[in-house]
């Protein structure tokens, strides 16, 4: 005669096996997506944006000062240069530093990451879902700040700078 404990144990064992197999499937699918992305980048194809970046929808409470989601003219100019200066719009955190320096903003790598993370909460930039530390300006932000069609030009937008050793920054 079969007792309930044996049946329950068999069911629990099978459920554990299903959970393990589902996890292995998720990992295999993620690896496959990554392989396809690497292949497409290697061949110079545009990487499909089937996977949307994760965006944090929480915003800090407004406490005065600049309105949430607005950025200074200098940061608009920095993002304009990045938006128009990199193939497919993706740039690394380390590539932000010399562009910001050109506009008079000195950033350390930690500062660059923190600034990008803060601006991602306001949907100005987004981080690559497949390549950590790579970002791009969101199309809607480029339209909102007026540089979707052409780089920003005008007075008081940039303050030209040189590298600390006196060399011009090649942009």
Q: What is the pLDDT of residues 25-49, one digit of tens each?
A: 999 999 999 888 888 887 776 655 5
Q: What is the pLDDT of residues 85-115, one digit of tens each?
A: 887 789 999 999 999 999 999 999 999 999 9
Strand partners, 91: 135
Could you write out the DSSP letters of every residue in 118-139?
HHHHTTSEEE-SSSTTEEEE-H
Phi, psi of 15 (to 5 degrees): -60, -40
Q: What is the pLDDT of residues 107-157, one digit of tens each?
A: 999 999 999 999 999 999 999 988 888 999 999 999 999 998 888 875 444
Q: Check: CB of residue 160 under 8 Å from CB of residue 102.
A: yes
Radius of gyration of the chain (CA): 23
pTM of the model: 0.53
- Angstrom distance (rounded) from CA 93 to CA 75: 15
Q: Check: CB of residue 153 under 8 Å from CB of residue 60.
A: no
pLDDT over 70 (residue 165): no
- Angstrom distance (rounded) from CA 147 to CA 81: 9
Average of per-residue pLDDT values in the chain: 81
């Amino acid at each position: 005669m079969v007792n309930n404990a044996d049946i329950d144990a068999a069911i629990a064992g099978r459920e554990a096996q299903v959970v393990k197999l589902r996890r292995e499937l998720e990992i295999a699918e993620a690896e496959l997506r990554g392989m396809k992305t690497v292949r497409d980048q290697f061949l110079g194809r545009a990487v499909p944006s089937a996977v949307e970046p994760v965006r944090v929808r929480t915003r800090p409470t407004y406490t005065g000062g600049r309105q949430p989601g607005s950025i200074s003219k200098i940061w608009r100019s920095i993002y304009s240069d990045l938006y128009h200066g990199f193939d497919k719009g993706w740039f690394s955190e380390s590539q932000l530093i010399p562009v910001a320096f050109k506009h008079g903003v000195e950033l350390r790598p930690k500062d660059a990451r923190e600034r990008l993370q803060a601006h991602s909460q306001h949907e100005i930039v987004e981080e690559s879902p497949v390549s950590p530390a790579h970002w791009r300006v969101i199309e809607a932000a480029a339209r909102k700040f007026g540089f979707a069609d052409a780089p920003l030009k005008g007075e008081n937008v940039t303050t030209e700078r040189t590298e600390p050793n006196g060399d011009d920054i090649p942009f």
